[in-house]
Structure 1
């Protein structure tokens, strides 16, 4: 195997510095900003102005990253407005630069970053909704579990295995309704903050053959599904009863049976791999 030429490592270092230099925004638009090290790239043999060529590449690199963040966090981007979102995205990407060939990886730390830089709670909840929708949509395939697959004599002793294509999300503003309206809302400016709920709302986001399903659930039902992901049916029901007594929820046993049956009918549980 031949060794790499001596010029390659310095070139890669200089090129990486050019790409990681953020775009400038002092003129009201995002513009390239080349660090002095770009002169070391040897671009002076280009048939066009060397600075313009390198600047175009830098601009397109950053636009591709920012467009990807906008696509993955559409609700957050529209609440903030694209201009503010892009500024936040540039700051985020400076702290967490891409380190993977797959662009899907660049948003991995975005929600936590919003928390760390003390962004408004409504934006953080919007980002969690965006993240959940993306994760659910990209979840791997699985084989659905049904009651006839039970291997125990007492169903209450069953431990269910959560399918990968659903998540529970809570919101204190009407964010999910706004999210579902986004395809009909044109523009890049900041949208008004949606109305606050009198009480926290809970949503189940799930993938089906047509796309994503969004189900608004009563809090006890959402809590039951959360408990079922890590406890037997018996233990989950007992813990739900304790939480009902603590929170003052009125939940009939028939409701718990209905919710459990619904979770199976909706395909929330997967067969365990052997």
Structure 2
């Protein structure tokens, strides 16, 4: 270890409920107590909550210091570690406070996935599948052939899936860093789940039924839910959608599939009745 480099650490609680201003202050407290200056580097070692908060702290401390991501879950390795979105939640909604702040580098070690709970593995694979659906049909075909290897945590399959996902994400971010249009397509499924977005696309007549079946099949093999929890009501969906970051001028814009596999649109121009019908078909009340 370089004797000229001092290392200070802050161990933060993990989980969405801790992704708030109180927890963020612990990072600032440590940085200020340690008299860190603008030449310091914040390193995020952990999952998505840690990366988002550490990144936002780096963007804000002394108006911006160096930042390195070392993500330890599939979700962060394929998605949030690349692209510079950082932030915290507000009690009224997720990720409503934050900044676009790019890391100097992202270091991914797939060995960190050996201890990842199955639920977290599946959660990350949902994002991998997303890339195939919105922009990379060839990658989706590869996933269909290799989903069993991914579920078995085959290191070669995981490495390829992570690499290809990062390439897709980086390409989109380089074209639209601040999410004015194209980058928003990466949010497929973030408003009401992959299955519901695909179902709505089909009900609008925008995609072929074969795509719906293929998506349903791969999600089941990945042990991902194909319906919302029974406790979710239509009103609950609508209240959450009202504060979605994709709302503009009071209009909820959605990412929906359109055309052959690997194509999507980010639009507010859709039949509202079809949105209601989709919600009704998935919710009991």
Alignment TM-score, normalising by the size of structure 1: 0.26
Alignment TM-score, normalising by the size of structure 2: 0.26
Q: Which has the larger radius of gyration?
A: 1
